[in-house]
Amino acid sequence: MSAPLKIYFVTSNEGKVREANAVLRRYGLAVVPYPARKLELQSESLEEVASYAARSLAGKVPEPFFVEDSGLFIYSLRGFPGPYSSYVYRTIGLRGVLKLMEGVSDRRAKFVAVAALCLRGEIHVFRGEVEGIIALQARGAGGFGYDPIFMPLGSNKTFAEMSTEEKCRHSHRAKALRALAKYIIDEVVREHSGNSCA
Q: What is the pLDDT of residues 137-183, one digit of tens each?
A: 999 999 899 999 999 999 999 999 999 999 999 999 999 999 999 99
Closest CA to 54 of 90, 22, 11, 18: 11
Residue from 69, 106, 147, 186 carrying the catalytic annotation: 69
* Active-site residue flag, 69: yes
pLDDT of residue 135: 97
Res 57 pLDDT > 80: yes
Domains and CATH numbers, the chain: 5-194 (3.90.950.10)
- Per the CB < 8 A criterion, the answer to whether 74 and 81 are in contact is yes
Res 1 pLDDT > 60: no
Res 198 pLDDT > 50: no
Task: Give the span between the Cα atoms of 187 and 126, in whole angstroms.
Answer: 15
pLDDT in tens, 20-52: 999 999 999 999 999 888 777 888 899 999 999
Task: Give the span between the Cα atoms of 141 and 7, in whole angstroms.
Answer: 29
Largest CA distance in the chain: 68
